[in-house]
Structure 1
């Protein structure tokens, strides 16, 4: 199983879509809420140069925003 982390925050509709998508496909993930966890916010900005939620880190690959095509590619979906 792939190592998946999602940086999210409350009241973020794309974040909710992302979580539902991963749950529906059976992918476990680690959730980091940048409003509740200051270290997660610093990590998102400093390590991944992202100011967007959701931001995914999948096996070291960073995807900013809910980009379904990039997400499916990173998870190994084939067309």
Structure 2
């Protein structure tokens, strides 16, 4: 499966919902806290052109916010490719 990265920050309810979604599905992800890491913040802004959290990266797909439809579509695309 493609690596999944979630850019988060503290006190972000949609971030918590996003992480809980992946945990409940048993899907591994890497969390990058943009408040704790300037490197993560720079990646989010410069590489992915996003200024909000959560931002979910699945392979090359960038999903801003907790967009369950986009997340599930991308996850199903990955499963279909395997």
TM-score tier after normalising by the smaller chain length: over 0.9
Q: Distance in 2 between matches of 1:12 and 1:31?
A: 13
Aligned residues between the structures: 77
**1:2 and 1:75 in contact (8 A); partners too:** no
Secondary structure of 1:51 counterpart: coil
Q: Which residue is equivalent to 1:39?
A: 39
TM-score after normalising by structure 1: 0.94
The two structures, once aligned, show a CA RMSD in angstroms of 1.0
Match of 2:80 in 1: none
Query: Gaps spanning 5+ residues in structure 1: where?
Result: none
Structure 1 segments of 4+ aligned residues over 4 angstroms from their partners? none
- TM-score normalised by length of structure 2: 0.90
CA distance in 2, matches of 1:59, 1:2: 5
Give me the whole-angstrom Cα distance separating, in 2, the residues matched to 1:3 and 1:39: 18
Residue 11 (structure 1) aligns with: 11
The structural deviation recorded for 1:60 is 1.1
Instruction: Specify every segment of 5 or more residues in structure 2 that has no aligned partner in the other structure, as ranges.
Output: 78-82
Residue of structure 2 equivalent to 1:71: 71
- Secondary structure of 2:27's match? coil
Q: Which residue in 1 is equivalent to 2:27?
A: 27
Q: Distance in 1 between the 2:15 and 2:2 partners?
A: 19
